[in-house]
């Protein structure tokens, strides 16, 4: 089972895409010996905000069905400097609820700080469902 899963991992990451999975299982030692090139995936880079604006990047970690999850967020100013972070255990939730709870936590933290009331606050999430 370990060899099977490892072979599928190699296939998923782009190594051995033209090799049949059975051949990969039999020749895992050869695949492991090849140098591995890390391919950069697309990610969000810091985009400068208007002066006085704040940006909250939030996320929740869960996969699919209800599981034990944690929500996290990072608040930055217009220069990209971190003003605050949060990480909170929220119990058993599904992935959509997790993202919504992370957005809610970010909003509650911003509302609790009196000096954030007049600021332009942008909340960024990777979930279109939660944002809508």
Q: What is the pLDDT of residue 39?
A: 47
Listed residue (10, 13, 130) closest to 71, CA to CA: 130
Hey, what are 103's tokens? 């957005």
Q: Locate the domains of the chain by residue range.
A: 2-33, 54-131
Q: What is the pLDDT of residue 132?
A: 76
Q: What is the pLDDT of residue 106?
A: 87
Position 12 pLDDT exceeds 70: no
CA-CA distance, 8 to 56, in Å (whole number)? 36
Residue range 54-131 in CATH 3.30.420.10: yes
30-47 pLDDT, tens digit each:
766 655 554 444 455 556
CA torsion angle for 123, 55, 60, 86 (degrees, to 10)?
-130
Confidence band for 79, pLDDT divided at 50, 70 and 90 = confident
Q: What is the pLDDT of residue 19?
A: 73
């Amino acid at each position: 089972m370990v060899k099977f899963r490892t072979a599928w991992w190699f296939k998923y990451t782009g190594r051995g895409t033209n090799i049949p999975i059975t051949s990969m299982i039999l020749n895992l030692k050869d695949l492991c010996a090849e140098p591995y090139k890390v391919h950069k995936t697309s990610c969000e880079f810091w985009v400068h905000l208007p002066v006085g604006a704040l940006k909250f990047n939030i996320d929740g970690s869960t996969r699919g069905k209800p599981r034990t999850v944690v929500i996290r967020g990072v608040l930055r100013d217009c220069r990209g400097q971190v003003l605050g972070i949060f990480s909170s255990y929220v119990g058993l939730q599904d992935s959509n609820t997790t993202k919504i709870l992370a957005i809610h936590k970010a909003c509650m933290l911003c509302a609790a700080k009196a000096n954030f009331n007049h600021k332009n606050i942008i909340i960024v999430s990777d979930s279109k469902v939660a944002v809508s």
